[in-house]
Amino acid sequence: MEQKRNLGSILLATTSFVGGLAAGFLLAPKNGPENRRWLASQVSEFSKWMDHQTRAAQVKTDRELRKFRQNVQQGIRQNVPDLYQATNQIDLSHNDILRE
């Protein structure tokens, strides 16, 4: 149900955007070539902005993942005993280990 509502909202927004664009081009005081140049420059600026946002999101995601890994590793170190230290005091000889 939630997905249908989201899909409907996206479809409505997209349709409204395209309709607004079409109305804007039909009612614009500029001629076709000027509108196309303006639109191309706007698309270029938007593309640069999106590239910047993508890189910023990747940096932030990498930073958050690194913090998460460090927290998990620290939690494991604090809560799981070191097996070498835990078994260091056990007296076992080679004979005890090899005995079947």
Q: Is residue 84 part of a domain?
A: no
**Has residue 71 been placed in a domain?**
yes
Q: How many domains does the chain have?
A: 1
Looking at residue 83, what is its pLDDT? Answer: 75
What DSSP string describes the chain? -HHHHHHHHHHHHHHHHHHHHHHHHHH-SS-HHHHHHHHHHHHHHHHHHHHHHHHHHHHHHHHHHHHHHHHHHHHHHHHS--HHHHTTT----HHHHH--
User: What does the pLDDT read at residue 58?
Assistant: 95
Residue 12 located in a structural domain: no
Question: Using one digit for the tens of pLDDT, what is the confidence trace for 8-65?
Answer: 888 888 899 888 888 877 777 777 788 788 888 988 998 999 999 999 999 999 999 9
The pTM assigned to this predicted structure is 0.47
- Note down the domain range covering 32: 22-77
What is the rounded distance in angstroms from the CA atom of residue 81 to the CA atom of residue 86? 7
